[in-house]
Structure formats: C-alpha cells, structure tokens
Structure 1
Amino acid sequence: MAPHALAGLKVVEIANDVGGEFTGLLLAQQGAEVVKLEPPEGSPTRRVGPFAKGREAPDTSLNFWFYNSNKKSVAADLTAPGGRAALTRLLADADILVTTLQPAALTAAGLDLAALCEAHPKLIVLSVTPFGLTGPWADYKSSDLVALAAGGPLNSCGYDDHSIPPIRPGGNQAYHSAASFAQIGVMLALLERQKTGRGQLLDVSMHEACAVNVELANPYWFYPRVHVHRQTCRHAQPSPTQSALFRCADGRYVYFALILSEPKAWKALVDWMDAKGMAVQLTDPAFSDVAYRQQHFHEVQELVECFFLIQDSHEAYHDGQAAGLPIGVLNAPEDLFDDEHLQARGFFVDVEHEGVGKVAYPGPIYRFSSFGEVARTAAPKLGEHTERVLGDAARIPEEVAP
C-alpha cells in the first residue's frame, strides 16, 4: 500500500481559532507533518473547556485535543526576534503555512504574507480569517455564532414558531465550512505548484464561506426574489411545509419525509402501514390520485403519526429503510458510541493520553483504497516538540523555549 496521501508535506500552523486548527487537522489526517507554532503561554484554544477530569490546564482541554491531534507543538513568541527566527527556520523547508492572524495582528508580529511568498517561492501561504485579508471588516472580531449570523445561515435555522429567535446549529459549522474551503484551496494550490513550481497566497474568509453555505436561501432570492423562512428540523422554504418529525413508542423521534407526489414512495408507505394493520382508508383507490391525497393530507398525516406511535424508533427506521423510504432516527451525540453502523466500520478509535488513559476519538475522515490509514495520535503538550523540531536553534534565543 502506498504512503499516506500527503506524506512528505510539511505544514506550519499559526492558528488561534478552530478554523485554522481544523484546517491543520484535515491536512494532518492525510499524513502531512503539521507543526503548530504557539506563543509561550499556549494557543488560546488550550483554555477552552471542557477539561479532562475537570482540571483546567494548558494540556487538558478536550476541545484542543480534538482539533490538534496528530500535530507537533513548537512554542515561540512571534513578537520577539527569537520567535521570528524560529518561524524562519520552520519555513525553510515547509510546503504550507496556515495562519489565522488578521491584518493588524500580522503587522504586530512583523509578518508580511506577500513577502513570505517572495522569500519562499514554493511556499503556499494559506490565510483563514473571519473576514479575509482586505475590506473594511478585515480586523473585526468574530466567532462561530457571529459568522453564521453575518453570513446568513443563522436566519434559516430555528423553529416554526417565529416568535423564537433563530437558533445556532452546533458543531462549529462556520469554522468547519471555512476549513473545508481552505482545504480544497490548498489542494488546488498544490496542483498548481506541480505545474509551475511556485506557491501562492490563498485568502479564505469565514464570512464568505458562510455566505455561500445558506442552502436554498440564495437561489430563492437570486431568481424569484423571495425569502425563505426557518422551520423545525426541515429546510427553510418560502412557504411552510408539513412536519417531518414523528414521535415513536419509545419516546424518540424519527425523521421521515412524507412525499405525497411520488407514486413509488406512496405505495411503499401504504404497503408498510397495511402490513401492520394501520393503513385504514389509505388503501382506498381514491388515494391513488395525487390530487386527492393532497386534498386529504390531514388524514394522511394523522394516520402516519399514529402509525409511528405504535413502533419503536429503531424498528421503524430499519423497516422503513427496507421499504426503500427516506427515514432516520434522531440520535443524540452520545448515542453514536453505540451506533451499530459506526461500530461495524470501526469509526471510533482509542487514543492514549498520559494520566488519563484511553480516550475515544472520531476516526479517519478519509478512507483511501490506495493510501495507508493515518493513525490518530494525541494532541501535543505545549512546546513538546520545540527542541526536537528546531534542534540547536531552540537553545539559542530564549524566546523560543516554552
């Protein structure tokens, strides 16, 4: 089997938020060597909880562990001569620099990204910032919630009851969107470098990543000039659509898209309900007509609600899938550890952490048939690799040592 997909590539990461750290993680999980350059006090993300065993310290943040596994840590103060010397040393043989520093912070650190490109012609300099490197908002502060709000997705997330404000979806989606676009951009830059031998400066804005990640809102506004409205657990639409959540006998919900206009799906649903003695009038020939079904939708909805109430959620899920219908169980995050499908695929992997023991992590994002799997390793302790990576240079300037 061939080496890892990005084996041989060296990445230097200067990231103080999840967007840059997740970008580095995506590259590390494909086999790139990712060296995280941190200030002597550590990245700000080391202070984000929750913390292992409730003990707050630079090396116990579970948030940091996830986003920085498979990386090396070098501690250096970029505002001091020794720190800038350390960066120069790291960039000498680097392929990619990932940075989340905004223009003012770059100036304060004495960094000029364009000048770095000139000094290191093969280097791909990737900037992942809240609002990009230019424009009136370039130095504005942001967060995942601010980015979702300013970029548009937040307005489509929430409940049917519009007296309730929009609800932020979980999972750092704004940061992850930016990181995904950043990774794609890096792949394109690497392909271009293969042809020309030169790197380039790549400017990724989280604001812009969110602005093109609003699903149906953009096309509905660009063309018919109508607004979409948020709905509970379904796509935002110009007009309300029927609920797709159904409560089951065990108190859990399933998501089932009840599509009246598709003959095959309709027949599958009626046959399934009839097999359990719950189809009632839906077997009447009149219901074979789409217009009739739509006129009597309230009857259909009520029967389907009763149908799911007599079933266990997982029973309904498996039987519905066997019938070829789009249905799924609503899992809580903690339910995934017992998910039979994820278990069968070996999705969760155990990573050993000193003083804590084995910790379950999500497995590889990519599964290549032609590349070896990259083993998940624990996030580095602050400055753990300073001397190993920088060698003798680590002992010369005091600012480099953690």
Structure 2
Amino acid sequence: MAQAPHPLAGLKVVEVAHDIGGEFAGLLLAQMGAEVVKLEPPEGSPTRQVGPFAKGQVDPNASLNFWYYNSNKKSVTADLATPGGMAVLTDRLADADIFISTLQPAALTALGLDLYALSDTHPRLIVASITPFGLTGPWADYKSSDLVALAAGGPLNSCGYDDHSIPPIRPGGNQAHHTVTSFAQIGLMLALLERQNTGRGQVLDVSMHEACAVNVELANPYWFYPRVHVHRQTCRHAQPSPTQSALFRCADGRYVYFALILSEPKAWNALVNWMDSKGMAVQLTDPAFSDVAYRQEHFHEVQELVECFFLIQDSHEAYHDGQAAGLPIGVLNAPEDLFDDEHLKAREFFVDVAHDGLGKVAYPGALYRFSSFGEVPRTAAPKLGEHTDETLGTGAAKTPEEVAP
C-alpha cells in the first residue's frame, strides 16, 4: 500500500526557543514532517553551549545536547533586538502555521512583541508560548531550570532515597522540560484541529511550573483524598508509608527491578512456581503461605528467599524467565547498555545520521511510527546560521549587517 505524505508535511514552524522545552516541541513537529526554522541570535542559542561536546571540543556546532533537540531543523541567525532581525521574524511569520516562543513577558516587551497582537495580525497563526511560569502572574518573569521547575512544581519531593537525611534527588533526563513539551504538543494538535474547523489560530500559554504541578504521580490524590503526604523511597513509588525494596542483586552484579506482589494470587503462584523450578521455593510451597495474611505476616521470610533466588541467577536470565512467567520484572540498564539491547536492535531504534567531518552518528530514532505515513528521514542539527542565506534570498531581503549587526 502506498504511504501518504508525512503527517505534518507542508506545515511551517518558526521557533524562537532558548531552552530544551521549546526546542523539543519543535523537534516533535519536525519529526512528523513540518518545516521548522529556528531563529537564533548571532552568537547562537544558549543550548549550543550545553555539553557534552563531540570529541570533547567545546564548539557551538558540536553540542550533543543541541544535536538531539534540533535535528531536522533549519538555523537562521537574526538579532531580534534590531529592526533587521525583527524584519526576518516578521517575514517568516507571514506564512507560518506555528510560532514557538520561549520568551518570557519582560523579554517580549523589550523586543516589542505582543503574542496576542501577532495572533490578531496573522489569524491562522498558532502561537505556542512555552515558558517557566506562563505569561501572567507574579512569577511570570522568574528564572527557572529543569531542577527549579521540578522543585517548585512538586515532583522533586517524591524523588530520592529511603534515607531522608539525604535531600531530594533530581531525576535525570530533563523531565520538567519534557513534561511541559508534552502538554504543549497536545495543545498544538488540538489547536490545529480547531483551525481546520474555524480557520483561525490561537495563543497557547503553556507553563512548565503548572505542567510539573500535575505530574506528581501519587502525591496529589493522596493529599486530596486521605490528606496524607507521600515520602520518597529508593527506586520505587513515593508512598505514605514505606514499602518493601524492589531492587534485587543478581549473580552478575547487576540488579533487576521486581515488584513483589503478595496479595494477588496469580502473581504469587507464578513466583512460587518459578522459584520451585530452580529448587529455591523452600517453605513457600507450604499450604500456610497460600493465605495472604500469613504471607504478609511472614514477609521477611519471603523477602530473604527472593533475595537469595536472584543471587544465583544472571540478571538477563532472571528478566526473561520472570517475564515468561508473567511477572513485572525488568533489568536495570545503564544508558550505554541500550546500544546492545536486543529489543531496540530488533526495532531498529537507533538511526545513523551523517555529520560533516564525523561520519555517521547514532541517534535515538523517531518518536512516532505511523503505518499510513512515510518515514521522515533524520537529518543532522543545523550549524549556526546554516540557512540564513537561504532565508535572506526570499521575501524582503536583508543584508547580513541588518540581520546580525
């Protein structure tokens, strides 16, 4: 069956994003076929200075962080604080479908930009404002970061270790930025659907603080209903009271995560049968352990036997055998282990992207797989200002001095 064009083919996006949240939003659109033009200051986006760097060489064109979040985009340098630079933005917005901005209110005012006025001037334009605290409110111009957002929004308090003398620990992976991007992406898709019906765009005001505030997992429902606080635990969900450890060391020195479920008969029987197949069930086959209350009363025995059970097994062997038994178990991988992950290999998750002077570099693959759309080829992130001349050659042409004095 012939595949249709990319899902967002023909969509034009202008991105003025100086943090990961806005850049990730542009990347998600680019991975579905949209043309995303990134406007950067003459010195480049601040994210170009975020390491690590290819071959350890600090260079605005060598940031691995920038490479990932800005692949499949075009780069145009324009100093928005100058008339020439602002003219470049105006020209690009004339036929754009989406404008992604991470500029906070004070920065918008300094540039003379009014997002709602832009929406009135360009009725079909969808403006996505992705900022730390939103466009209004007493904190609207406060500075933030991934860590600040997780702290102020609440998730950080649920992340850390059983030992509460140790402060909360920030989870990795730019989770606050990715959370606000997820909300922005949903909003953009809804705004595009609305535009199909009405012909009009709108302004999306998306706050990282608010996105994190509703991303605290069990903390909100536990407080809203029984009015109790949850407490952070090592490698398991924060709960009002401590739960048993879910990490088990294996014979190869690696760990598996295994949620030991005592109250569910099917899971309990599967565990006992699995342990018995290796001669490790011991007293767990005693009829007394068929009673949930008895299992809970003698939980320390169960925990000790399970710990011994995993200590005689290779972590990957335990993972596959446990999954075959229908149990919730996973092996703990380090990031570098994922390149050899058999499942990711089978799904061809990593893709090679050509980089000038470096050859092919492995990237995480597309976040979307559509059966009815063609695949969007992955291209390297643009070099600083790589597409400026291309832009100057269209619309109201500007000299390089006007764009970036």
Cα offsets for 1:13-37 (capped at 9, x unmatched):
0000001000100111111100000
> 95, 98, 104: which one pairs with 2:97?
95
> 62, 65, 68: which one pairs with 1:63?
65
Corresponding residue for residue 328 of structure 1: 330
Report the AA paired with residue 183 of structure 2.
Answer: F
Corresponding residue for residue 266 of structure 1: 268
Residues 185-204 of structure 1 correspond to what in structure 2 (within 5 A)? Answer: 185-204=187-206
Corresponding residue for residue 143 of structure 2: 141
Cα offsets for 1:347-380 (capped at 9, x unmatched):
0001111111111100010101111111110000
Residue 311 of structure 1 aligns to a residue in which SS? coil
Take 2:111 and 2:382, find their aligned partners in 1: how far apart are those partners? 24
User: Are the counterparts in 2 of residues 273 and 307 from structure 1 also a CA contact under 8 Å?
Assistant: yes
> 128, 131, 139: which one pairs with 2:130?
128
Report the AA paired with residue 175 of structure 2.
Answer: Q
Offset at residue 258 of structure 1 (A): 0.4
Corresponding residue for residue 237 of structure 1: 239
Residues 279-358 of structure 1 correspond to what in structure 2 (within 5 A)? Answer: 279-358=281-360
Take 1:368 and 1:155, find their aligned partners in 2: how far apart are those partners? 37
Corresponding residue for residue 82 of structure 1: 84
Corresponding residue for residue 15 of structure 1: 17
Report the AA paired with residue 372 of structure 2.
Answer: S
Report the AA paired with residue 158 of structure 2.
Answer: S
Take 2:122 and 2:37, find their aligned partners in 1: how far apart are those partners? 17
TM-score (norm 2): 0.98
Corresponding residue for residue 45 of structure 2: 43
Report the AA paired with residue 272 of structure 1.
Answer: W
Offset at residue 394 of structure 1 (A): 4.3
Offset at residue 401 of structure 1 (A): 5.1
Offset at residue 153 of structure 1 (A): 0.1
Cα offsets for 1:221-268 (capped at 9, x unmatched):
011110000000000000100000000000000000000011011111
> 183, 186, 192: which one pairs with 2:185?
183
Take 2:389 and 2:312, find their aligned partners in 1: how far apart are those partners? 64
Residue 243 of structure 2 aligns to a residue in which SS? coil
Offset at residue 388 of structure 1 (A): 1.1
- Tell me whether 251-260 or 349-358 shows the greater mean CA deviation: 349-358
Cα offsets for 1:276-323 (capped at 9, x unmatched):
000000010111111111110000000000000000000000000000
Residue 271 of structure 1 aligns to a residue in which SS? helix
TM-score (norm 1): 0.99
Take 1:241 and 1:25, find their aligned partners in 2: how far apart are those partners? 39
Take 1:296 and 1:181, find their aligned partners in 2: how far apart are those partners? 45
Report the AA paired with residue 51 of structure 2.
Answer: G
User: Are the counterparts in 2 of residues 90 and 390 from structure 1 also a CA contact under 8 Å?
Assistant: no
Residue 255 of structure 1 aligns to a residue in which SS? strand
User: Are the counterparts in 2 of residues 383 and 401 from structure 1 also a CA contact under 8 Å?
Assistant: no
Offset at residue 182 of structure 1 (A): 0.3
User: Are the counterparts in 1 of residues 392 and 399 from structure 2 also a CA contact under 8 Å?
Assistant: no
User: Are the counterparts in 2 of residues 35 and 71 from structure 1 also a CA contact under 8 Å?
Assistant: yes
Residue 141 of structure 2 aligns to a residue in which SS? coil
Residue 184 of structure 1 aligns to a residue in which SS? helix
Take 2:232 and 2:19, find their aligned partners in 1: how far apart are those partners? 29
Offset at residue 395 of structure 1 (A): 3.9
Cα offsets for 1:317-356 (capped at 9, x unmatched):
0000000000000111110000000000000001111111
Residue 125 of structure 1 aligns to a residue in which SS? strand
Offset at residue 108 of structure 1 (A): 1.1
Cα offsets for 1:74-107 (capped at 9, x unmatched):
1101010001110111001100000000000011
Take 2:32 and 2:249, find their aligned partners in 1: how far apart are those partners? 41
User: Are the counterparts in 1 of residues 13 and 96 from structure 2 also a CA contact under 8 Å?
Assistant: yes
User: Are the counterparts in 2 of residues 69 and 376 from structure 1 also a CA contact under 8 Å?
Assistant: yes
User: Are the counterparts in 2 of residues 38 and 75 from structure 1 also a CA contact under 8 Å?
Assistant: yes
Take 1:60 and 1:170, find their aligned partners in 2: how far apart are those partners? 22
Corresponding residue for residue 401 of structure 2: 398
Report the AA paired with residue 159 of structure 2.
Answer: C
Take 2:202 and 2:168, find their aligned partners in 1: how far apart are those partners? 39
Take 1:375 and 1:400, find their aligned partners in 2: how far apart are those partners? 31
User: Are the counterparts in 1 of residues 84 and 398 from structure 2 also a CA contact under 8 Å?
Assistant: no
Take 2:163 and 2:73, find their aligned partners in 1: how far apart are those partners? 45
Corresponding residue for residue 36 of structure 2: 34
Runs (4 or more) in structure 1 with deviation over 2 Å come to 392-397
Report the AA paired with residue 11 of structure 1.
Answer: V
Take 2:311 and 2:278, find their aligned partners in 1: how far apart are those partners? 12
User: Are the counterparts in 2 of residues 394 and 400 from structure 1 also a CA contact under 8 Å?
Assistant: no
Residue 343 of structure 1 aligns to a residue in which SS? helix
Residue 359 of structure 1 aligns to a residue in which SS? strand
Q: 1:175 to 1:387 in 2, by over 3 A?
A: same
Give unmatched runs, 5+ long, in structure 1. none
Offset at residue 397 of structure 1 (A): 5.8
Take 1:275 and 1:342, find their aligned partners in 2: how far apart are those partners? 30
Take 2:61 and 2:112, find their aligned partners in 1: how far apart are those partners? 28
Take 2:28 and 2:236, find their aligned partners in 1: how far apart are those partners? 29
Take 1:399 and 1:386, find their aligned partners in 2: how far apart are those partners? 12
